[in-house]
Each structure stands twice: as structure tokens, then as C-alpha cells.
Amino acid sequence: MKLLDIAKSWYLFIKADAEDLQKAETKINICDGCPDKVQMSEFGQYIINAVNSESSTYKCGLCKCPLASKVFSAGTCPAGNW
């Protein structure tokens, strides 16, 4: 089931509608203040920027997911922030 959630979050990262974007923005604003947010590797940054150059190039330090797609996930924050 986790793989399906990851695939859906990447799909929404690429093809999100206005409602999905609003939800993701709320989550990323919470992530921006989290001490577990870490910069992605140069390769990870390249991949994210290739899809959307305005997206976050950080990842969650707990689950290691890129925040650009993680915030579109139906799952919860591993730190319990959302």
C-alpha cells in the first residue's frame, strides 16, 4: 500500500489541481519550520528541478522522502506535524 501512496503523491506533484496545491502548500509551510528538514543531494535536486523548478529541494530527515512530493501524500508526517 505504501508504494501506491508514493506513486499517487508523485502523480499529484506533477498534475495537481488547485485544491491539491492548496493542501500541499499548507503542509510545506509546516515542513519549512521543522528541524528534520534537510537539503537533498545534488542529484535529488536535479530531479526535482527537472519536474518543477519552483518546488522544494529538501527532504524529510526522518523518512527520507522528498518534500516536493511528500506534501501531496495522503499519509501523515512521520514527526506528527500534519
Q: pLDDT tens, 7-53? A: 899 899 989 899 999 999 999 999 999 999 999 999 999 999 998 88
pLDDT value, residue 4: 86
User: Does residue 24 lie in a domain region?
Assistant: yes
Classify each residue of 45-73 as buried b or exposed e, where b means 16 or more C-beta atoms within 10 Å of its C-beta.
beebeeeeeebbbbbbeeeebbbbbbbbb
Q: Find out whether 78 and 60 touch, Cβ atoms under 8 Å.
A: yes
Burial of residue 27 (CB within 10 Å: 0-12, 13-18, 19+) is middle
Inside any domain, residue 52? yes
**In-domain check, residue 80:** no
| pTM for this entry | 0.84
Going by pLDDT thresholds of 50, 70 and 90, the confidence category of residue 5 is: confident
* Structural domain count of the chain: 1
Examine residue 53 and state whether it is found in any structural domain, yes or no.
Answer: yes
Q: Which amino acid is at 70?
A: K
Half-sphere exposure of 44 (CA within 13 A, CB side): 15
Low-confidence winner among 1-5, 26-30, 65-69 (lowest mean pLDDT): 1-5
Q: What is the pLDDT of residue 34?
A: 97
Domain range holding 23? 2-70
